[in-house]
Structure 1
Amino acid sequence: MELMKVDNWFSITVGLARYLVKNASSIRSVFWDSMCGNGIFLQTEVWDAGSRFRCFRAPGAQRDDAIIRLIDWGADESPRVSGIADLELIRNSRMMFARKFDSEIDSDIVKAIESMVGLIFF
């Protein structure tokens, strides 16, 4: 088994979800006591499965947009909280997801995005 590590934010197909559930016991036995297992279990399983699962981003890929998430890594290497000033960036992004929002810091951005997508979040 070759251990792989990439971002632990991921989106998966139904087929991969079924594979992971079917193999949960063996996956748990390998990664349960590992350090930072959430950053390696999925990527390792996909890598070891070979071409059975199509990945948006192969392990080791360096493209920032490969995880289809808009994340502004702040100066302290922690995701910066997005605000209303980021609305155009978010609107013009090709990303499917964005991180990170805090309605206690800037509720205007949360309301603007709710309006854009026509959803109400609780």
Structure 2
Amino acid sequence: MASARISPARIAAYEVLRRVEQGGFASDLLRSRTASLSAPDAGLASELVFGVLRYRAQLDYLIERHSGRPVCRLDTEVALVLRLAIYQLRYLERIPAHAAVSEAVELVKRARKRSAAALVNAV
């Protein structure tokens, strides 16, 4: 079975957020990472990155509440994917819930965290 397609915007947002966790600057990383994307994908990637950064504390609270685990105990990649998914579900009305969840599960698998796919789907 072929893996599901993940939107370029979500991949870009995830990669930028990973680099931000390592000390990078979101604006610079976004500019270089989204240069080759279509305008709608670049716009969505920017919305996702800045939204996750803006609402990080609220997103982490929701992750902890629904997973029963402190965010600091989750792998960084898993926490980032959960933040992206919850941000979309909570703040982006135009994103269908099934798309946010399905692509989050695929994104966590792509990050080589297959064992966390069930957690991402459940939260």
**Same structural fold, with TM-score higher than 0.5 when normalized by the shorter chain:** no
Which structure has the larger Rg over C-alpha atoms? 1
Question: Which of structures 1 and 2 has the larger relative contact order (alpha carbons within 8 angstroms, sep 6+)?
Answer: 2
Higher helix proportion, which one? 2
Higher strand proportion, which one? 1
